[in-house]
Structure 1
Protein backbone atom coordinates (compact mmCIF):
# COMPACT_ATOMS: atom_id res chain seq x y z
CA UNK A 1 0.00 0.00 0.00
CA UNK A 2 1.49 3.33 -1.06
CA UNK A 3 0.99 6.75 0.51
CA UNK A 4 1.98 10.41 0.17
CA UNK A 5 3.93 10.72 3.42
CA UNK A 6 7.46 11.86 4.11
CA UNK A 7 9.58 9.10 5.62
CA UNK A 8 13.03 10.53 6.14
CA UNK A 9 15.34 13.45 5.28
CA UNK A 10 19.08 12.95 4.91
CA UNK A 11 22.21 15.00 4.25
CA UNK A 12 25.29 13.56 2.52
CA UNK A 13 28.68 14.62 1.29
CA UNK A 14 29.90 12.89 -1.86
CA UNK A 15 33.66 12.97 -2.35
CA UNK A 16 35.58 11.46 -5.23
CA UNK A 17 38.21 9.99 -2.89
CA UNK A 18 36.27 9.34 0.33
CA UNK A 19 33.05 8.21 -1.35
CA UNK A 20 29.54 8.76 0.07
CA UNK A 21 29.35 9.99 3.68
CA UNK A 22 26.05 10.42 5.50
CA UNK A 23 26.33 13.54 7.67
CA UNK A 24 22.83 13.71 9.15
CA UNK A 25 19.54 11.81 9.12
CA UNK A 26 16.12 12.69 10.48
CA UNK A 27 13.47 9.94 10.54
CA UNK A 28 10.28 11.98 10.31
CA UNK A 29 7.97 8.96 10.12
CA UNK A 30 9.18 7.65 13.49
CA UNK A 31 8.62 11.01 15.20
CA UNK A 32 5.22 11.39 13.53
CA UNK A 33 4.08 7.98 14.74
CA UNK A 34 5.49 8.56 18.23
CA UNK A 35 3.59 11.86 18.64
CA UNK A 36 0.34 11.00 16.82
CA UNK A 37 0.15 7.28 17.51
CA UNK A 38 -0.35 6.61 13.81
CA UNK A 39 0.43 3.18 12.46
CA UNK A 40 1.31 3.23 8.80
CA UNK A 41 3.52 1.69 6.24
CA UNK A 42 6.17 4.17 7.41
CA UNK A 43 6.37 2.23 10.68
CA UNK A 44 7.03 -0.96 8.78
CA UNK A 45 9.94 0.61 6.90
CA UNK A 46 11.30 2.29 10.01
CA UNK A 47 11.08 -0.97 11.89
CA UNK A 48 12.72 -2.85 9.07
CA UNK A 49 15.87 -0.89 9.48
CA UNK A 50 17.86 1.80 7.95
CA UNK A 51 16.86 4.38 5.40
CA UNK A 52 20.43 5.62 5.58
CA UNK A 53 21.89 2.38 4.23
CA UNK A 54 19.32 2.21 1.43
CA UNK A 55 19.87 5.83 0.35
CA UNK A 56 23.65 5.45 0.60
CA UNK A 57 23.45 2.52 -1.80
CA UNK A 58 21.28 4.57 -4.19
CA UNK A 59 23.78 7.44 -4.17
CA UNK A 60 26.71 5.13 -4.81
CA UNK A 61 24.95 3.51 -7.76
CA UNK A 62 23.53 6.72 -9.25
CA UNK A 63 25.00 9.93 -7.78
CA UNK A 64 23.19 13.21 -8.39
CA UNK A 65 24.27 15.95 -10.76
CA UNK A 66 24.99 19.42 -9.45
CA UNK A 67 23.50 22.90 -9.59
CA UNK A 68 24.16 25.00 -12.67
CA UNK A 69 25.74 27.68 -10.45
CA UNK A 70 27.96 27.58 -7.38
CA UNK A 71 25.87 27.57 -4.21
CA UNK A 72 22.81 26.00 -5.83
CA UNK A 73 21.45 22.47 -5.75
CA UNK A 74 20.39 20.60 -8.87
CA UNK A 75 20.84 17.37 -10.83
CA UNK A 76 17.70 15.98 -9.17
CA UNK A 77 16.93 12.28 -9.51
CA UNK A 78 14.11 9.98 -8.40
CA UNK A 79 14.61 6.29 -7.58
CA UNK A 80 11.53 4.22 -6.72
CA UNK A 81 11.00 0.88 -5.00
CA UNK A 82 7.74 -1.02 -4.52
CA UNK A 83 6.57 1.14 -1.63
CA UNK A 84 8.61 4.33 -1.47
CA UNK A 85 10.85 6.66 -3.47
CA UNK A 86 14.10 8.53 -2.95
CA UNK A 87 14.34 12.06 -4.37
CA UNK A 88 17.75 13.72 -4.19
CA UNK A 89 20.01 16.39 -5.64
CA UNK A 90 23.51 17.78 -5.14
CA UNK A 91 25.69 20.87 -5.49
CA UNK A 92 29.14 21.51 -6.95
CA UNK A 93 30.81 20.85 -3.55
CA UNK A 94 29.33 17.37 -3.25
CA UNK A 95 26.67 18.24 -0.66
CA UNK A 96 23.57 16.12 -1.29
CA UNK A 97 20.07 16.42 0.20
CA UNK A 98 17.81 13.35 -0.04
CA UNK A 99 14.17 12.76 0.93
CA UNK A 100 12.45 9.39 1.26
CA UNK A 101 8.68 9.54 0.64
CA UNK A 102 5.73 7.38 -0.24
CA UNK A 103 5.15 6.71 -3.93
CA UNK A 104 2.15 9.05 -4.10
CA UNK A 105 4.12 12.02 -2.79
CA UNK A 106 4.66 14.35 -5.81
CA UNK A 107 8.31 14.41 -6.83
CA UNK A 108 8.02 18.09 -7.83
CA UNK A 109 7.07 18.96 -4.22
CA UNK A 110 9.92 16.79 -2.91
CA UNK A 111 12.28 18.69 -5.23
CA UNK A 112 10.97 21.99 -3.87
CA UNK A 113 11.52 20.70 -0.32
CA UNK A 114 15.11 19.71 -1.15
CA UNK A 115 15.80 23.14 -2.65
CA UNK A 116 14.50 25.01 0.40
CA UNK A 117 16.19 22.59 2.82
CA UNK A 118 19.50 23.08 1.01
CA UNK A 119 19.23 26.88 1.25
CA UNK A 120 18.51 26.82 5.00
CA UNK A 121 21.05 24.08 5.69
CA UNK A 122 23.90 25.84 3.91
CA UNK A 123 23.20 29.06 5.82
CA UNK A 124 23.46 27.28 9.17
CA UNK A 125 25.84 24.37 8.60
CA UNK A 126 27.32 24.81 5.13
CA UNK A 127 30.93 25.21 6.21
CA UNK A 128 30.76 22.34 8.71
CA UNK A 129 29.17 20.06 6.12
CA UNK A 130 32.22 20.40 3.86
CA UNK A 131 34.56 18.80 6.43
CA UNK A 132 32.31 17.03 8.99
CA UNK A 133 32.77 13.37 9.83
CA UNK A 134 30.01 10.83 9.04
CA UNK A 135 26.93 11.09 11.31
CA UNK A 136 28.46 14.04 13.20
CA UNK A 137 25.76 16.58 12.27
CA UNK A 138 22.63 14.70 13.40
CA UNK A 139 21.97 16.94 16.41
CA UNK A 140 22.57 20.38 14.81
CA UNK A 141 20.73 19.31 11.65
CA UNK A 142 17.58 18.07 13.37
CA UNK A 143 15.82 21.47 13.83
CA UNK A 144 16.24 22.32 10.14
CA UNK A 145 15.20 18.90 8.86
CA UNK A 146 12.27 18.75 11.32
CA UNK A 147 10.92 22.14 10.23
CA UNK A 148 11.18 21.24 6.55
CA UNK A 149 9.51 17.85 7.00
CA UNK A 150 6.63 19.48 8.89
CA UNK A 151 6.30 22.27 6.33
CA UNK A 152 6.12 19.84 3.41
CA UNK A 153 4.21 17.04 5.18
CA UNK A 154 1.02 17.92 3.27
CA UNK A 155 1.91 18.13 -0.44
CA UNK A 156 -1.56 19.38 -1.36
CA UNK A 157 -1.17 22.53 0.74
CA UNK A 158 2.25 23.17 -0.82
CA UNK A 159 0.80 22.82 -4.31
CA UNK A 160 -2.02 25.24 -3.44
CA UNK A 161 0.46 27.71 -1.97
CA UNK A 162 2.68 27.39 -5.03
CA UNK A 163 -0.32 27.92 -7.31
CA UNK A 164 -1.36 30.99 -5.29
CA UNK A 165 2.18 32.39 -5.38
CA UNK A 166 2.26 31.73 -9.11
CA UNK A 167 -0.98 33.68 -9.55
CA UNK A 168 0.34 36.53 -7.40
CA UNK A 169 3.54 36.59 -9.43
CA UNK A 170 1.48 36.59 -12.63
CA UNK A 171 -0.55 39.55 -11.37
CA UNK A 172 2.67 41.38 -10.44
CA UNK A 173 4.10 40.77 -13.89
CA UNK A 174 0.85 41.94 -15.52
CA UNK A 175 0.82 45.07 -13.35
CA UNK A 176 4.43 45.78 -14.27
CA UNK A 177 3.56 45.36 -17.94
CA UNK A 178 0.55 47.66 -17.56
CA UNK A 179 2.62 50.31 -15.76
CA UNK A 180 5.33 50.06 -18.41
CA UNK A 181 2.68 50.42 -21.12
CA UNK A 182 1.16 53.45 -19.35
CA UNK A 183 4.57 55.08 -19.02
CA UNK A 184 5.26 54.38 -22.68
CA UNK A 185 1.90 55.89 -23.62
CA UNK A 186 2.66 58.93 -21.44
CA UNK A 187 6.02 59.32 -23.17
CA UNK A 188 4.32 59.04 -26.55
CA UNK A 189 1.65 61.57 -25.48
CA UNK A 190 4.35 63.94 -24.27
CA UNK A 191 6.23 63.50 -27.53
CA UNK A 192 3.04 64.21 -29.51
CA UNK A 193 2.37 67.26 -27.32
CA UNK A 194 5.90 68.52 -27.93
CA UNK A 195 5.49 67.94 -31.66
CA UNK A 196 2.16 69.80 -31.64
CA UNK A 197 3.77 72.71 -29.78
CA UNK A 198 6.59 72.81 -32.31
CA UNK A 199 4.07 72.74 -35.16
CA UNK A 200 2.11 75.59 -33.54
CA UNK A 201 5.30 77.62 -33.19
CA UNK A 202 6.22 76.90 -36.80
CA UNK A 203 2.69 77.85 -37.90
CA UNK A 204 2.95 81.15 -36.00
CA UNK A 205 6.32 81.88 -37.59
CA UNK A 206 4.95 80.98 -41.02
CA UNK A 207 1.92 83.20 -40.49
CA UNK A 208 4.12 86.12 -39.43
CA UNK A 209 6.41 85.60 -42.40
CA UNK A 210 3.47 85.34 -44.80
CA UNK A 211 2.00 88.58 -43.39
CA UNK A 212 5.34 90.34 -43.81
CA UNK A 213 5.69 88.93 -47.31
CA UNK A 214 2.16 90.08 -48.19
CA UNK A 215 2.97 93.58 -46.93
CA UNK A 216 6.19 93.60 -48.92
CA UNK A 217 4.33 92.44 -52.05
CA UNK A 218 1.78 95.24 -51.61
CA UNK A 219 4.57 97.79 -51.31
CA UNK A 220 6.27 96.42 -54.41
CA UNK A 221 2.95 96.43 -56.29
CA UNK A 222 2.30 100.05 -55.29
CA UNK A 223 5.80 101.05 -56.37
CA UNK A 224 5.33 99.33 -59.73
CA UNK A 225 1.98 101.09 -60.19
CA UNK A 226 3.54 104.47 -59.45
CA UNK A 227 6.46 103.79 -61.77
CA UNK A 228 4.16 102.71 -64.62
CA UNK A 229 1.89 105.73 -64.06
CA UNK A 230 4.92 108.02 -64.09
CA UNK A 231 6.15 106.45 -67.31
CA UNK A 232 2.74 106.89 -68.94
CA UNK A 233 2.60 110.53 -67.88
CA UNK A 234 6.10 111.14 -69.20
CA UNK A 235 5.26 109.46 -72.50
CA UNK A 236 2.08 111.52 -72.81
CA UNK A 237 4.01 114.68 -72.06
CA UNK A 238 6.62 113.78 -74.64
CA UNK A 239 3.90 113.27 -77.24
CA UNK A 240 1.47 116.02 -76.29
CA UNK A 241 3.84 118.90 -75.53
CA UNK A 242 5.29 119.08 -79.08
CA UNK A 243 1.81 118.69 -80.56
CA UNK A 244 0.44 121.51 -78.43
CA UNK A 245 3.46 123.66 -79.19
CA UNK A 246 3.10 123.07 -82.95
CA UNK A 247 -0.62 123.81 -82.78
CA UNK A 248 0.06 127.13 -81.06
CA UNK A 249 2.65 128.09 -83.66
CA UNK A 250 0.28 127.23 -86.52
CA UNK A 251 -2.47 129.24 -84.90
CA UNK A 252 -0.19 132.22 -84.47
CA UNK A 253 0.95 132.05 -88.11
CA UNK A 254 -2.64 131.99 -89.33
CA UNK A 255 -3.51 135.03 -87.30
CA UNK A 256 -0.45 136.95 -88.62
CA UNK A 257 -1.33 136.23 -92.25
CA UNK A 258 -4.75 137.67 -91.89
Structure 2
Protein backbone atom coordinates (compact mmCIF):
# COMPACT_ATOMS: atom_id res chain seq x y z
CA UNK A 1 0.00 0.00 0.00
CA UNK A 2 1.50 3.33 -1.03
CA UNK A 3 1.09 6.81 -2.50
CA UNK A 4 3.26 7.44 -5.54
CA UNK A 5 4.20 10.67 -7.28
CA UNK A 6 5.60 10.29 -10.78
CA UNK A 7 7.23 13.17 -12.68
CA UNK A 8 5.16 15.47 -10.47
CA UNK A 9 5.40 19.25 -10.77
CA UNK A 10 3.45 21.92 -8.94
CA UNK A 11 3.38 25.69 -9.43
CA UNK A 12 1.58 28.36 -7.45
CA UNK A 13 0.52 31.04 -9.91
CA UNK A 14 3.72 31.31 -11.98
CA UNK A 15 6.14 30.22 -9.24
CA UNK A 16 7.43 26.66 -9.49
CA UNK A 17 7.34 24.86 -6.12
CA UNK A 18 8.30 21.34 -7.23
CA UNK A 19 9.58 19.98 -10.52
CA UNK A 20 9.60 16.39 -11.75
CA UNK A 21 9.30 14.70 -8.35
CA UNK A 22 9.34 10.92 -8.13
CA UNK A 23 8.41 9.69 -4.69
CA UNK A 24 6.72 6.70 -3.06
CA UNK A 25 5.22 6.90 0.45
CA UNK A 26 4.76 3.43 1.96
CA UNK A 27 2.37 2.36 4.69
CA UNK A 28 3.94 1.38 8.05
CA UNK A 29 6.86 3.73 7.51
CA UNK A 30 7.58 7.22 8.86
CA UNK A 31 8.77 10.11 6.71
CA UNK A 32 9.80 13.62 7.67
CA UNK A 33 9.66 16.47 5.16
CA UNK A 34 12.45 18.82 6.24
CA UNK A 35 13.21 22.27 4.90
CA UNK A 36 13.25 25.95 5.67
CA UNK A 37 10.02 27.93 6.05
CA UNK A 38 8.14 28.79 2.87
CA UNK A 39 9.85 26.26 0.63
CA UNK A 40 6.78 24.09 -0.02
CA UNK A 41 6.72 21.44 2.71
CA UNK A 42 3.05 21.93 3.62
CA UNK A 43 2.16 22.14 -0.06
CA UNK A 44 3.54 18.63 -0.50
CA UNK A 45 1.27 17.37 2.28
CA UNK A 46 -1.72 18.93 0.52
CA UNK A 47 -0.70 17.24 -2.73
CA UNK A 48 -0.47 13.83 -1.04
CA UNK A 49 -3.94 14.31 0.46
CA UNK A 50 -5.32 15.49 -2.88
CA UNK A 51 -6.18 19.00 -1.69
CA UNK A 52 -3.97 20.51 -4.41
CA UNK A 53 -3.76 19.34 -8.00
CA UNK A 54 -0.46 18.77 -9.80
CA UNK A 55 0.53 21.05 -12.65
CA UNK A 56 2.16 18.07 -14.39
CA UNK A 57 2.74 14.39 -13.67
CA UNK A 58 0.59 11.91 -11.77
CA UNK A 59 -0.28 10.78 -8.26
CA UNK A 60 -1.31 7.15 -7.75
CA UNK A 61 -2.94 5.58 -4.69
CA UNK A 62 -2.15 1.87 -4.48
CA UNK A 63 -4.49 0.00 -2.11
CA UNK A 64 -5.74 3.25 -0.58
CA UNK A 65 -7.52 6.47 -1.53
CA UNK A 66 -7.83 10.11 -0.49
CA UNK A 67 -10.56 9.27 2.03
CA UNK A 68 -8.13 6.99 3.90
CA UNK A 69 -5.58 9.77 4.30
CA UNK A 70 -5.96 12.15 7.25
CA UNK A 71 -4.15 15.46 7.64
CA UNK A 72 -3.65 17.41 10.88
CA UNK A 73 -2.97 21.05 10.08
CA UNK A 74 -0.59 23.26 12.03
CA UNK A 75 -3.47 25.30 13.50
CA UNK A 76 -5.13 22.00 14.63
CA UNK A 77 -8.63 23.26 13.69
CA UNK A 78 -10.33 22.27 16.91
CA UNK A 79 -13.77 23.87 17.12
CA UNK A 80 -14.26 25.89 20.33
CA UNK A 81 -17.82 24.56 20.81
CA UNK A 82 -16.79 20.86 20.70
CA UNK A 83 -15.57 18.83 23.64
CA UNK A 84 -12.74 16.35 23.16
CA UNK A 85 -15.25 13.53 22.76
CA UNK A 86 -17.32 15.49 20.24
CA UNK A 87 -14.19 16.35 18.24
CA UNK A 88 -13.33 12.65 17.95
CA UNK A 89 -16.89 11.67 17.13
CA UNK A 90 -17.40 14.20 14.32
CA UNK A 91 -15.32 12.43 11.60
CA UNK A 92 -16.95 9.11 12.50
CA UNK A 93 -20.42 10.60 12.09
CA UNK A 94 -19.36 12.03 8.71
CA UNK A 95 -18.18 8.55 7.69
CA UNK A 96 -21.50 7.02 8.77
CA UNK A 97 -19.99 4.79 11.46
CA UNK A 98 -22.67 3.16 13.63
CA UNK A 99 -23.10 4.57 17.16
CA UNK A 100 -21.86 1.43 18.94
CA UNK A 101 -18.69 1.35 16.84
CA UNK A 102 -18.23 5.09 17.38
CA UNK A 103 -18.32 4.65 21.16
CA UNK A 104 -15.85 1.79 20.98
CA UNK A 105 -13.34 3.70 18.85
CA UNK A 106 -13.61 6.87 20.90
CA UNK A 107 -13.13 5.01 24.17
CA UNK A 108 -10.06 3.25 22.79
CA UNK A 109 -8.63 6.45 21.33
CA UNK A 110 -8.99 8.58 24.47
CA UNK A 111 -7.35 5.81 26.49
CA UNK A 112 -4.43 5.44 24.08
CA UNK A 113 -3.78 9.19 23.99
CA UNK A 114 -4.31 9.68 27.77
CA UNK A 115 -7.37 11.86 27.19
CA UNK A 116 -9.93 10.01 29.33
CA UNK A 117 -10.01 12.66 32.06
CA UNK A 118 -10.24 15.40 29.41
CA UNK A 119 -13.08 13.95 27.32
CA UNK A 120 -15.63 16.58 28.38
CA UNK A 121 -13.32 19.59 28.16
CA UNK A 122 -13.34 22.28 25.49
CA UNK A 123 -10.21 23.51 23.62
CA UNK A 124 -9.87 26.61 25.83
CA UNK A 125 -9.54 24.26 28.81
CA UNK A 126 -6.61 22.33 27.30
CA UNK A 127 -2.86 22.93 27.23
CA UNK A 128 -0.93 23.07 23.96
CA UNK A 129 0.26 19.50 24.30
CA UNK A 130 -3.23 18.27 25.16
CA UNK A 131 -4.68 20.01 22.09
CA UNK A 132 -2.04 18.36 19.93
CA UNK A 133 -2.93 14.94 21.31
CA UNK A 134 -6.62 15.59 20.64
CA UNK A 135 -5.88 16.59 17.04
CA UNK A 136 -3.84 13.43 16.47
CA UNK A 137 -6.50 11.26 18.10
CA UNK A 138 -9.11 12.84 15.84
CA UNK A 139 -6.89 12.08 12.86
CA UNK A 140 -6.46 8.44 13.88
CA UNK A 141 -9.97 7.60 15.12
CA UNK A 142 -11.06 6.94 11.52
CA UNK A 143 -8.25 4.36 11.25
CA UNK A 144 -6.58 5.96 8.19
CA UNK A 145 -3.93 4.29 6.06
CA UNK A 146 -1.80 7.46 6.17
CA UNK A 147 -1.55 10.29 8.71
CA UNK A 148 -0.04 13.62 7.62
CA UNK A 149 1.12 16.04 10.35
CA UNK A 150 1.99 19.66 9.60
CA UNK A 151 4.53 21.08 12.11
CA UNK A 152 3.02 19.08 15.00
CA UNK A 153 5.26 20.48 17.77
CA UNK A 154 6.21 23.96 16.52
CA UNK A 155 4.34 25.86 19.26
CA UNK A 156 5.31 23.63 22.20
CA UNK A 157 7.99 23.98 24.88
CA UNK A 158 10.86 21.49 24.79
CA UNK A 159 9.55 19.02 27.38
CA UNK A 160 6.05 18.97 25.88
CA UNK A 161 7.53 18.71 22.40
CA UNK A 162 9.50 15.58 23.32
CA UNK A 163 6.42 14.04 24.95
CA UNK A 164 4.31 14.68 21.84
CA UNK A 165 7.06 13.27 19.62
CA UNK A 166 7.03 10.08 21.68
CA UNK A 167 3.23 9.96 21.38
CA UNK A 168 3.48 10.30 17.60
CA UNK A 169 5.84 7.34 17.31
CA UNK A 170 3.88 5.18 19.73
CA UNK A 171 0.70 5.81 17.74
CA UNK A 172 2.44 4.98 14.46
CA UNK A 173 3.70 1.68 15.83
CA UNK A 174 0.26 0.88 17.25
CA UNK A 175 -1.75 1.71 14.13
CA UNK A 176 0.96 0.71 11.61
CA UNK A 177 -0.08 3.46 9.23
CA UNK A 178 2.05 5.56 6.94
CA UNK A 179 3.24 8.70 8.72
CA UNK A 180 4.39 11.92 7.03
CA UNK A 181 5.52 14.85 9.19
CA UNK A 182 6.48 18.36 8.14
CA UNK A 183 9.11 20.17 10.22
CA UNK A 184 11.98 22.64 10.01
CA UNK A 185 13.53 21.22 13.21
CA UNK A 186 16.47 18.93 12.42
CA UNK A 187 16.39 17.19 15.82
CA UNK A 188 12.70 16.43 15.32
CA UNK A 189 13.49 15.07 11.86
CA UNK A 190 16.25 12.85 13.26
CA UNK A 191 13.92 11.55 15.96
CA UNK A 192 10.73 10.93 13.98
CA UNK A 193 11.75 10.05 10.44
CA UNK A 194 12.87 6.65 9.16
CA UNK A 195 13.30 8.44 5.86
CA UNK A 196 13.94 12.18 5.66
CA UNK A 197 12.86 14.14 2.59
CA UNK A 198 14.99 17.28 2.38
CA UNK A 199 13.26 19.98 0.32
CA UNK A 200 15.72 22.15 -1.60
CA UNK A 201 14.98 24.49 -4.52
CA UNK A 202 12.09 22.61 -6.17
CA UNK A 203 13.56 19.15 -5.51
CA UNK A 204 13.56 16.42 -2.86
CA UNK A 205 16.53 14.45 -1.57
CA UNK A 206 15.79 11.21 0.31
CA UNK A 207 18.03 10.35 3.27
CA UNK A 208 17.76 7.10 5.24
CA UNK A 209 18.00 7.83 8.95
CA UNK A 210 20.97 5.78 10.28
CA UNK A 211 20.01 6.19 13.95
CA UNK A 212 16.22 5.79 13.80
CA UNK A 213 16.20 2.31 15.33
CA UNK A 214 18.44 3.19 18.28
CA UNK A 215 16.64 2.84 21.60
CA UNK A 216 16.55 6.11 23.59
CA UNK A 217 18.39 7.75 20.71
CA UNK A 218 18.27 11.21 22.31
CA UNK A 219 20.87 9.81 24.74
CA UNK A 220 23.27 8.92 21.91
CA UNK A 221 25.90 11.24 20.52
CA UNK A 222 25.12 9.85 17.05
CA UNK A 223 21.65 11.41 17.27
CA UNK A 224 23.06 14.92 17.66
CA UNK A 225 25.76 14.31 15.06
CA UNK A 226 23.11 13.31 12.52
CA UNK A 227 20.93 16.28 13.48
CA UNK A 228 23.91 18.59 12.95
CA UNK A 229 24.57 16.94 9.58
CA UNK A 230 20.99 17.73 8.54
CA UNK A 231 21.31 21.31 9.78
CA UNK A 232 24.51 21.84 7.79
CA UNK A 233 22.83 20.40 4.71
CA UNK A 234 19.99 22.92 5.01
CA UNK A 235 22.46 25.78 5.43
CA UNK A 236 24.44 24.60 2.40
CA UNK A 237 21.27 24.43 0.33
CA UNK A 238 20.34 27.95 1.45
CA UNK A 239 23.76 29.29 0.39
CA UNK A 240 23.49 27.55 -2.99
CA UNK A 241 20.09 29.17 -3.62
CA UNK A 242 21.47 32.64 -2.78
CA UNK A 243 24.41 32.12 -5.12
TM-score, with normalisation over the residues of structure 2? 0.23
TM-score, with normalisation over the residues of structure 1? 0.22
In terms of fraction of residues, the more strand-rich structure is: 2
